[in-house]
Amino acid sequence: MDFANYQYEIYFQGLAGVVPELPANYDDLEARAREELDDGPFGYVAGGASSEDTVAANREAFRRWRIVPRMLVDIDVRDLSTHVLGQDLIAPVALAPVGVQSIVHPEAEVATARAAASVGIPFTLSTVSSKPLEEVAEAAGDGPRWFQLYWPGEVELAASLMRRAKDAGYTAVFVTLDTKMLAWRPRDIDGAYLPFLVGEGLANYTTDPVFTDPLDVSAEDDLQAAVLRWAQVFLNKKATWGDLASLREHTDLPMVLKGVLHPDDARRAADHGMDGIVVSNHGGRQVDGEIASLDALPDVAAAVDGELDILFDSGIRTGADVVKALGLGAKTVLLGRPYVWGLALGGEDGVRHVVRGLLADLDLTMAMSGFTSLDDLEPGILRRI
């Protein structure tokens, strides 16, 4: 697929006086979102844990690796397709799970799903989405989709959510491990901003029979009681490696552990029969001062030695970032904040523009570096400075 052509679509539209509504550069995109969003939603998306040192580290890590291009390679035909979690993807890019998208756009995950489906890449729906997973699946149609699970305190609830996800056509479960508690996030603290407490982001819970069963009345009639029950079951502080089997037995979908940074944990994921891991620090939103996700990747890749699929997120902003992450051992990357700004500023069209822009940038970066397939991307194409 010729993703690079997107730039000519844009230039030709320019001849008719039409220019893109959103900036192509990430920092400009975030700056525009800063102008248009209220402090609460903007801070929730942009912010991270404590000093936000790890948010910055994620991006600095990419700058320390440089691509060394090769010349006089036939780059006329390029293939960015990959095979991950037993599925064929048109490109090594999917959308990361981002909860409570209604805080930036009323169509929330429905718009995101439509955009992803129109391009043909998977999106990952968060457990704490603003729209029920069935409604989002319907919006995606035949588009590929994955479901992210925040491991709840009640295993029956996990089983029910995963069952619903499978029934609705989601083809993998991503269990997020790095969020057993919510981190100290100064931007949210300063505005006392936590959208879940006013019922935002609870759609998958309030539509779940296992969740609603113990409630005397529906969430519409008593939101406070629903929020209280949610706060009690949302996260599972006690979960350990030994409990993974209990989760595993409730779904036959491929299972991926999201938030792995230590090579020993990556090994344990492989030993526990997981299908994949996401090397991720949650975009620097959980442990301030922790290792940049990219810095963790080489050791993790060495530890699992191809036994499971490695996905990567935290800091992907450009095509070059994707090349670097794949060069260091990832098979596919998840895009996070950039598409959320696209959603905030342009709904479905905004997400599509951001995604198509990233794919064009990736295709061009690979082509002009002399790489025509993802097999070319290995550590030897990079130099650390």
Question: Is the separation of the CB atoms in 183 and 206 below 8 Å?
Answer: no
Q: How many CB atoms lie within 10 A of CB 332?
A: 27
**93 near ligand FNR (CB under 6 A):** no
Please say which residue, 78 or 206, places its beta carbon nearer to ligand FNR: 206
Using CA atoms, how far residue 353 sits from 20, 144, 345, 357, 381, in Å, is 8, 19, 11, 6, 29
Residue corresponding to tokens 């706060």: 231
For residue 89, what are the β-bridge partners?
82
Among 50, 206, 280, 369, binds ligand FNR (CB under 6 A): 280
Element (H, E) at 115: helix 108-119
Please say which residue, 37 or 45, places its beta carbon nearer to ligand FNR: 45
Residue 96 per-residue DSSP state: P
- Tell me the closest approach of the beta carbon of residue 299 to ligand FNR, in angstroms: 19
Please say which residue, 113 or 367, places its beta carbon nearer to ligand FNR: 113
- Tell me the closest approach of the beta carbon of residue 240 to ligand FNR, in angstroms: 19
* Residue 353: active-site member: no
- Tell me the closest approach of the beta carbon of residue 126 to ligand FNR, in angstroms: 3
Catalytic residue among 250, 272, 282, 353: 282
Using CA atoms, how far residue 277 sits from 22, 49, 364, in Å, is 32, 22, 28
**109 near ligand FNR (CB under 6 A):** no
Please say which residue, 82 or 176, places its beta carbon nearer to ligand FNR: 176
**333 near ligand FNR (CB under 6 A):** no
Please say which residue, 219 or 294, places its beta carbon nearer to ligand FNR: 294
Q: Which residue is nearest to ligand FNR (CB)?
A: 336
Candidates 131-139, 184-192, 215-223, 335-343: pick the segment binding ligand FNR (CB under 6 A).
335-343
319 contacts: CB under 8 Å, gap ≥ 6: 358, 359, 360, 361, 362, 363, 364, 365, 366
**96 near ligand FNR (CB under 6 A):** yes
Residue 212 burial (CB < 10 Å; 0-12/13-18/19+)? Answer: middle
Give the residue from 195, 179, 196, 182 showing the smallest Cα distance to 42.
Answer: 195
Question: Is the separation of the CB atoms in 81 and 317 below 8 Å?
Answer: no
Among 337, 352, 353, 356, binds ligand FNR (CB under 6 A): 337
**126 near ligand FNR (CB under 6 A):** yes
Strand ranges in the chain using DSSP code E only, listed in sequence order = 65-67, 82-84, 87-89, 93-95, 123-125, 145-150, 173-176, 255-260, 276-279, 309-312, 332-335, 382-384
Scan residues 151-190 and list those touching ligand FNR (CB under 6 A). 176
Please say which residue, 29 or 340, places its beta carbon nearer to ligand FNR: 340
> Strand 382-384 relative to strand 65-67: parallel, antiparallel, unpaired?
antiparallel
Question: Is the separation of the CB atoms in 298 and 279 below 8 Å?
Answer: no
**99 near ligand FNR (CB under 6 A):** yes
- Tell me the closest approach of the beta carbon of residue 145 to ligand FNR, in angstroms: 15
Site size toward ligand FNR (CB under 6 A) is 23
**Which residues are part of the catalytic machinery?**
282
- Where does this chain bind ligand FNR (CB under 6 A)? 44-45, 58, 96-99, 126, 128, 148, 176, 258, 280, 282-283, 285, 313-316, 336-337, 340
